[in-house]
Structure 1
Amino acid sequence: MRRNPFEEIEDVLERVSRQVEEGMGAGGLQVPGSVPVDVADTGEEYVVTADLPGYDTDDIDLTLSDGTLRLEATRTDEEEYAEGRYLRRERTRASASRRIRLPEPVDEDAISAGYEDGVLTVHLPKVGGGEESKSIDIE
């Protein structure tokens, strides 16, 4: 007996849906150009950790505006290889960005950020906040 083609389509859609849910839960689905982040709530502050390997602090722009942390990073092309020529070149200009909406206002004057070994860590103490955009220096 032949199987109903609609049941086959339902099975495929169910499998795809399950894979998407599992990937999202494990952090496995990444949009190209998106920065993978962890956001932790310690009770007193939010701590945002982002992977940005290969960038310098000057390449990273970090701002807070209207309760949203905006992270943008751009790496420019390196000059030609000084000691010869490239046989393969995959590490070229790269841009990455991420916007993180914070659930509560934070104390904009007490925000701090550090960058070490390709990992950006931003500390956002909870309190009140202003309406203006605030640029954040990375140490």
Structure 2
Amino acid sequence: MRKNPFEDIEEMLDRVSRQVESGMTSGGLQVPGSVPADVVDTGEEYLVTADLPGYETDDIELTLSEGTLRLEASREDEEASADGRYLRRERTRTSANRRIRLPEPVEEEEVSAGYENGVLTVRLPKVSGGEESRQIDIE
């Protein structure tokens, strides 16, 4: 009996589908050059945690503009040591970036950030709605 020529293609598509599905259920697929990040709404602030292993504080630029947090990191490419040459080189990516749109306005003057052990943490306090009540006149 002849083998179905489309069987290999169907098997490959099933495998790719499982990989995509697996990536979606484990938090999403990682885009090359993108920084993996978590955004938590604590009620009073947004807490952004991003993985940036191998970068120094001076390598990271963090800006907030029009409700979007922009994170960019870049580092100098490391050269091979004088007494050797690369046999395998997988750590060549020298820049990464991420843009995170915030769902509500934040107090831009009170934003703070820290970086420890390759993890960037950004605290973005929400704009507080007026705590005072106001009388509304009816015409």
Shorter-chain TM-score category?
A: 0.7 to 0.9
1:65 aligns with 2:65: yes
Quick one: distance in 1 between partners of 2:79 and 2:52? 21
Structure 1 moving runs of 4+ over 4 Å: 8-18
Moved more, 109-118 or 92-101: 92-101
Task: Identify if the C-alpha distance between structure 1 residues 117 and 9 changes in structure 2 by more than 3 Å, giving closer, same or farther.
Answer: same
Quick one: distance in 2 between partners of 1:37 and 1:54? 16
Task: Identify if the C-alpha distance between structure 1 residues 13 and 92 changes in structure 2 by more than 3 Å, giving closer, same or farther.
Answer: closer
Post-superposition offset of 1:21: 3.5
Residue by residue over 1:101-123, the C-alpha shift from the partner in whole angstroms, topping out at 9 and shown as x without a partner, is: 00110000110000001000000
Instruction: Tell me what 1:85 maps to.
Output: 83
Stretches of structure 1 that go unaligned for 5 or more consecutive residues are 129-139
Stretches of structure 2 that go unaligned for 5 or more consecutive residues are 129-139
Amino acid across the alignment from 1:86? G
TM-score by length of structure 1 reads 0.74
Instruction: Tell me what 1:121 maps to.
Output: 121
Asked whether the equivalents of residues 33 and 93 of structure 2 are also in contact (C-alpha less than 8 Å), the reply is no
Quick one: distance in 2 between partners of 1:78 and 1:10? 43
**Structure whose alpha-carbon radius of gyration is higher:** 2
Q: How many residues align?
A: 126
* 3-state SS of paired residue (1:104): coil
Amino acid across the alignment from 2:35? V
Amino acid across the alignment from 1:87? R
TM-score by length of structure 2 reads 0.74
Instruction: Tell me what 1:23 maps to.
Output: 23
Instruction: Tell me what 2:95 maps to.
Output: 95
Task: Identify if the C-alpha distance between structure 1 residues 92 and 13 changes in structure 2 by more than 3 Å, giving closer, same or farther.
Answer: closer
Asked whether the equivalents of residues 76 and 93 of structure 1 are also in contact (C-alpha less than 8 Å), the reply is no
